[in-house]
Chain A
Amino acid sequence: MTMTSETKDYKWVGTSPVRPDGNDKVTGRAMFGADLMLPGMLVGKVLRSPHAHATIKSIDTSKAEALPGVKAVITSDDVEDMESAWVAAGELQLNYRDLSYNVMANGKVLYDGHAVAAVAATSSAIANAALDLIDVDYEVLPHVIDVEEALEPDAPILHDDMFTEGVTPTPDKPSNVFKEFDIALGDVEAGFAKADLIIERKFKSAPVHQGYLEPHAAVASFGEDGQAELWCCTQGHFSVRAYCAKLLGMDIADLRVTASEIGGGFGGKTTVYLEPVALMLSRKAGKPVRAVMTREDVFRASGPTSGATSWVKVGVTNDGKIVAGEAIFKYQAGAFAGSPIGPGCMCAYAPYDIENVKVKGYDVVTNRPKVAAYRAPGAPISEHAVESVLDEISKKLGMDPIELREKNAAREGTQAAYGPKFGPIGFADTLAAAKAHPHYSAPLGPNQGRGVASGFWFNIGGSSSATVNVNEDGTLALATGSPDIGGSRASMAIMAAETLGIDATDVRPIVADTASIAYTFLTGGSRVTFATGMAVIEASKKIALELRERAAKTWDISVDAVVWEDGKATPAGANAGEFEPLSLADLAAKMNQTGGPISTAVSLNAEGAGPGFGTHICDVEVDRETGAVKILRYTAVQDCGQAIHKAYVEGQIQGGAVQGIGWALNEEYIYNDEGRLENAGFLDYRIPVASDLPMIDTVIVEVANPNHPYGVRGVGEVPIIPPMGTVANAIDSAIGIRMTELPMSPPKVLAALDNGS
């Protein structure tokens, strides 16, 4: 279902044509990260730490090097030590020394699975045998897994040089807190003084993995002249190029990175793990090297997102007006600084118009893998806590939960606590659509309950590039620098076709490598359809102008006397003269006679991303014997600004909602007393499967973003935010128990039922 506020006369925008890259993906022809094979290619494998925290006293690789078939062995000795420096990496910040130490442990291992050495050999079996022959002498240190324990005064310290930032004066002792983060608006004490009802709650959420089905993979080929090629599954091949060039001490021009087809990323493929290792092995061995993670490696050493503890306090008056909101969030970052605590704090109260807000955040290191971005990084954790407390308030006040949200919803002009005043936004529209949906008034049975929760994500813009080349027959070659993780080539083709008035099937979109197109920031933050889309639209407009000029030249009239309409150049009016319209194919056929090939390149930094809001409704049934929670019905409403490819917008919403359901009910990292991950596989780390779920209904609300030619806001991040609150609120409605810890797995629900609390 789509609800738009205005009538639009689009031919392609908002439709669902078959994706241009689809055929290769249903026939097995599409080439993903692990699918490339080069002549003479070696197998690269990584040795990983079995300890959560240990000093590396020595590494002896001599026996591995002596094994026939082994062509290269590397350790941190092969990695140049970096100075500590922070750079932007998606919605997160990244430190090159930390990145280098995460790629290959230096002096200490900081988590179970931390890379300590790597080999390249002529076969997988020989590489595995070589790993067994590497002798690492560890001195095991005390470790800390839990975020609250990491904050204790006597906690094991991961980094001797970590002195908390964001506090004055700077502490004189190191701790596991990298940074404190504060947001304040108004006066929360004064706000709480006006409240008739104040509810405060503590929450805990487990770290969850992005769970992309394709393990990380890279194929590197380093030439004797110092130039290298890298093929890998990544959300940002320009970021990979920058990171790898830095870690290997290369000029950026000497490294060409091709983004393979990517088997899911969700934020987890925005950094590097194997890529620089494969390059270092290839440089040392003088042959191409392919390195692929096992699923166990993926769980132990990539992703996940933060686990966290949260404390939320909200005050309301009896008529449901929120007068103050306060919160403290402690996000674990894993072994190195840099959890998504910033966006977590900023998003917590962003959906609501509240005069008094105070949020404090802590970025805490623990002996776990360094967290990576995961769909709306940070937001699901903080918003789950706030949305749970709002549900409790609505129940205490006897007020409909959507009505409570409508009373407090941020609207155009609302001052957000994190900084900006909102422009046109569609939050209230999502609430109205949810309230009007038949799901919201459908009857429920015993042990069943309904929950509602909302979510906010900024959406982002940033740097993007696109080129359009007109082919001799009038079809178009469209290239962008944005890896396609969910159908973006289809939406790019649609926007080019709509702008030029031609058929989307006449546009062949590709993802170009780093040498073939200008810099493009990574695929993430719900930026591609907005920002790269802008580059595509601008490029298409420039092509239309060029086509008008070619027609003007053909007719020997002024370019101002030619208009481009419905894919054809036409005289602007009677005064321009009488000429038969010239189609793109007509003009393309003659382009070499009218001035040469027609092509254009556009690079831009897109500003004015439109914030996204969603509201979800969920019905659950709780099995009182087992504590299992069954999702009976699920509806996700979201303001996307404008859906470009409608079916893939629905798909983003459905997929995000189901990842959120997994976060709510099943998924968690389980560590034993030694700090080793005990569930590093899909059997024990249980992502939702088809039989766990009902259909996921979607309602696309379209409140146009005025800063995009077609009104696009972006879609991918928002849908993962509301589910945890929605499911928790539904469970509370079903059994009258407020679950405050994620995942709400059967043992926890059963224990809560047994305790009656």
Chain B
Amino acid sequence: MAKMHVSTTVNGEPTEFLCEPQQTILDVLRDELRLTGSKEGCSTGDCGACSVTMDGRLVCSCLVLGAEAEGHEIETIEGMADGDTLHPLQQKFLERAALQCGICTPGFLIAAKSLLERNPNPSETEVRYWLAGNLCRCTGYDKIIRAVLECAADMRGASA
């Protein structure tokens, strides 16, 4: 089957790729664009390890076709740091040991960033429900939730 030509924007860079009709954005990111920071944990939208944003909206990239990226802006974990400066969430995850094996970490960071953009002052319950679509088997979530809450407080302080 002929491949499809798609023009999109990935992490701010105009990007073109060819993909098979059945390939997901996750397949394209990983296998065609070699951006392997987004992980495949399930391919059914249950684990959140492939979380990216599409025009600012949080999606599981395993549930969106590559062809659907046409004309849209995709943000992945590779675009989260600003040059050599980590995003405050990335820094906080490091400082608070909010990762163990690290396979779920890109998805959690993208999802948490998306939460704080919408709600800079979430309660613990709001953080837990927003991140309920991101599975972590190592940490029991405790340090992840604390890192997000603490980072939110820091970011509010910085912008006040």
Residues of A whose CB lies within 8 Å of any CB of B are 16, 18-19, 21-23, 25-32, 34-35, 37, 123-125, 210-215, 261-266, 292, 294-295, 485-487, 645, 647-648, 650-652, 654-659, 681-683, 687-693, 695-696
Task: List 18 extra interface pairs beyond A32-B36, A658-B139, CB under 8 A.
Answer: A23-B86, A25-B99, A124-B27, A212-B103, A214-B103, A215-B41, A263-B103, A264-B100, A295-B47, A485-B101, A486-B100, A487-B100, A651-B138, A655-B138, A655-B140, A682-B47, A690-B127, A690-B131
Does the CB pair B143–A264 fall under 8 Å? no
Does the CB pair B38–A262 fall under 8 Å? no
Does the CB pair A215–B142 fall under 8 Å? no
Which residues of chain A have C-beta atoms less than 8 A from B135's C-beta? 213, 682, 687, 689
Does the CB pair A22–B44 fall under 8 Å? no
Q: How far is B151's CA from A745's CA once the two chains are assembled, in angstroms?
A: 35
Does the CB pair A25–B102 fall under 8 Å? yes
B25 part of interface (Cβ distance < 8 Å): no
Q: Which of B43, B44, B97, B141 contacts A658 (CB 8 A)?
A: B141
Contact with A along B88-110 (1 / 0, CB 8 A): 00100111110111111110010
Which residues of chain B have C-beta atoms less than 8 A from A654's C-beta? 139-140, 142-143
Q: Which of A18, A125, A264, A292 contacts B95 (CB 8 A)?
A: A18
Does the CB pair B44–A681 fall under 8 Å? yes
Which residues of chain B have C-beta atoms less than 8 A from A645's C-beta? 97
Q: How far is B138's CA from A18's CA once the two chains are assembled, in angstroms?
A: 17
Q: How far is B78's CA from A26's CA once the two chains are assembled, in angstroms?
A: 9
Which residues of chain B have C-beta atoms less than 8 A from A125's C-beta? 20, 22
Q: Which of A27, A34, A123, A690 contacts B132 (CB 8 A)?
A: A690
- Chain B, 10-54, CB within 8 A of any chain A CB: 20, 22, 27, 30-31, 34-44, 46-47, 49
**Chain A proximity of B26: nearest CB distance (Å):** 11
- Chain B, 111-153, CB within 8 A of any chain A CB: 125, 127-129, 131-146
Of chain B, the residue at the smallest CB distance from A660 is B140
Does the CB pair B40–A266 fall under 8 Å? no
Does the CB pair B106–A295 fall under 8 Å? no
Q: How far is B141's CA from A693's CA once the two chains are assembled, in angstroms?
A: 8
Instruction: Report how many residues on chain B are interfacial, defined by Cβ distance under 8 Å.
Output: 60
Does the CB pair A27–B103 fall under 8 Å? no
**Chain B proximity of A69: nearest CB distance (Å):** 13
B8 part of interface (Cβ distance < 8 Å): no
Does the CB pair B80–A27 fall under 8 Å? yes
Q: How far is B88's CA from A356's CA once the two chains are assembled, in angstroms?
A: 58
B61 part of interface (Cβ distance < 8 Å): no
**Chain B proximity of A213: nearest CB distance (Å):** 5
Does the CB pair A27–B137 fall under 8 Å? no
Which residues of chain B have C-beta atoms less than 8 A from A29's C-beta? 37
B4 part of interface (Cβ distance < 8 Å): no
CB-based closest 7 A-B pairs: A28-B37, A263-B103, A25-B102, A658-B140, A647-B97, A654-B140, A682-B46
Does the CB pair A27–B90 fall under 8 Å? yes
Q: Which of B78, B97, B109, B129 contacts A487 (CB 8 A)?
A: B97
**Chain B proximity of A690: nearest CB distance (Å):** 4
**Chain B proximity of A610: nearest CB distance (Å):** 23
Which residues of chain B have C-beta atoms less than 8 A from A263's C-beta? 39, 41, 101-104
**Chain B proximity of A437: nearest CB distance (Å):** 16
Does the CB pair B77–A27 fall under 8 Å? yes
Does the CB pair A687–B100 fall under 8 Å? no
Of chain A, the residue at the smallest CB distance from B107 is A213
Does the CB pair A687–B102 fall under 8 Å? no
Does the CB pair A264–B137 fall under 8 Å? yes
Which residues of chain B have C-beta atoms less than 8 A from A487's C-beta? 97, 100
Does the CB pair A28–B106 fall under 8 Å? yes
Number of A-B contacts (CB under 8 A): 186
Does the CB pair A214–B39 fall under 8 Å? yes
Which residues of chain B have C-beta atoms less than 8 A from A262's C-beta? 101
Which residues of chain B have C-beta atoms less than 8 A from A28's C-beta? 35-38, 76-78, 80, 106
Of chain A, the residue at the smallest CB distance from B77 is A28
Which residues of chain B have C-beta atoms less than 8 A from A18's C-beta? 94-95
Of chain A, the residue at the smallest CB distance from B92 is A26
Does the CB pair A261–B102 fall under 8 Å? yes
Which of B36, B47, B86, B103 lies at the interface centre, i.e. has the most chain A CB atoms within 10 A of its CB?
Answer: B103
Does the CB pair A648–B100 fall under 8 Å? yes
Which of A25, A28, A292, A692 lies at the interface centre, i.e. has the most chain B CB atoms within 10 A of its CB?
Answer: A28
Does the CB pair B103–A213 fall under 8 Å? yes
**Chain B proximity of A382: nearest CB distance (Å):** 23
Q: How far is B47's CA from A292's CA once the two chains are assembled, in angstroms?
A: 17
Which residues of chain A have C-beta atoms less than 8 A from B104's C-beta? 213, 263
Which residues of chain B have C-beta atoms less than 8 A from A16's C-beta? 97
Does the CB pair A689–B140 fall under 8 Å? no
Q: How far is B135's CA from A25's CA once the two chains are assembled, in angstroms?
A: 16
Of chain B, the residue at the smallest CB distance from A290 is B31
**Chain B proximity of A267: nearest CB distance (Å):** 12
Does the CB pair A691–B102 fall under 8 Å? no
**Chain A proximity of B137: nearest CB distance (Å):** 5
Does the CB pair B137–A655 fall under 8 Å? yes
Q: How far is B140's CA from A266's CA once the two chains are assembled, in angstroms?
A: 14
The answer to whether A691 and B132 touch (CB under 8 A), given A27-B90, A696-B142, is yes
Q: Can you list 19 residue pairs at the A/B interface with Cβ under 8 Å?
A: A22-B94, A25-B99, A26-B106, A27-B81, A28-B80, A30-B102, A35-B30, A37-B31, A213-B49, A214-B41, A214-B103, A215-B40, A215-B41, A266-B137, A487-B97, A654-B140, A682-B41, A691-B131, A696-B140
Q: Which of A19, A658, A682, A688 contacts B94 (CB 8 A)?
A: A19
Which of A18, A31, A486, A691 lies at the interface centre, i.e. has the most chain B CB atoms within 10 A of its CB?
Answer: A691
The answer to whether A23 and B100 touch (CB under 8 A), given A681-B42, A690-B132, is no
**Chain A proximity of B108: nearest CB distance (Å):** 9
Q: How far is B90's CA from A27's CA once the two chains are assembled, in angstroms?
A: 8
Of chain A, the residue at the smallest CB distance from B81 is A27
Q: Which of B133, B137, B143 contacts A211 (CB 8 A)?
A: B137
Does the CB pair A26–B99 fall under 8 Å? yes
Q: How far is B42's CA from A681's CA once the two chains are assembled, in angstroms?
A: 7
Of chain B, the residue at the smallest CB distance from A25 is B102
Which residues of chain B have C-beta atoms less than 8 A from A695's C-beta? 142, 145-146
Which residues of chain B have C-beta atoms less than 8 A from A692's C-beta? 132
Q: How far is B140's CA from A264's CA once the two chains are assembled, in angstroms?
A: 13
Which residues of chain A have C-beta atoms less than 8 A from B133's C-beta? 689
Of chain A, the residue at the smallest CB distance from B110 is A28
Does the CB pair A213–B136 fall under 8 Å? yes
Which residues of chain A have C-beta atoms less than 8 A from B46's C-beta? 295, 681-683
Q: Which of B27, B76, B81, B128 contacts A691 (CB 8 A)?
A: B128
Of chain B, the residue at the smallest CB distance from A43 is B31
**Chain B proximity of A16: nearest CB distance (Å):** 6
Which residues of chain B have C-beta atoms less than 8 A from A696's C-beta? 140, 142
The answer to whether A212 and B36 touch (CB under 8 A), given A647-B97, A681-B46, is no
Which residues of chain A have C-beta atoms less than 8 A from B134's C-beta? 690
Q: How far is B31's CA from A123's CA once the two chains are assembled, in angstroms?
A: 11
Does the CB pair A264–B138 fall under 8 Å? yes
Does the CB pair A27–B49 fall under 8 Å? no
Does the CB pair A34–B137 fall under 8 Å? no
Does the CB pair A22–B103 fall under 8 Å? no
The answer to whether A294 and B138 touch (CB under 8 A), given A27-B78, A27-B86, A27-B90, is no
Which residues of chain A have C-beta atoms less than 8 A from B94's C-beta? 18-19, 22-23, 26
Q: How far is B62's CA from A681's CA once the two chains are assembled, in angstroms?
A: 14
Of chain B, the residue at the smallest CB distance from A689 is B132
Which residues of chain A have C-beta atoms less than 8 A from B142's C-beta? 651, 654, 693, 695-696
Q: How far is B46's CA from A681's CA once the two chains are assembled, in angstroms?
A: 8
Q: How far is B41's CA from A369's CA once the two chains are assembled, in angstroms?
A: 20
Q: How far is B20's CA from A682's CA once the two chains are assembled, in angstroms?
A: 27
Which residues of chain A have C-beta atoms less than 8 A from B47's C-beta? 213, 295, 682
Which of A18, A215, A655 lies at the interface centre, i.e. has the most chain B CB atoms within 10 A of its CB?
Answer: A655
Which of B76, B95, B135 lies at the interface centre, i.e. has the most chain A CB atoms within 10 A of its CB?
Answer: B135
Which residues of chain A have C-beta atoms less than 8 A from B146's C-beta? 695
Which residues of chain B have C-beta atoms less than 8 A from A212's C-beta? 101, 103, 137
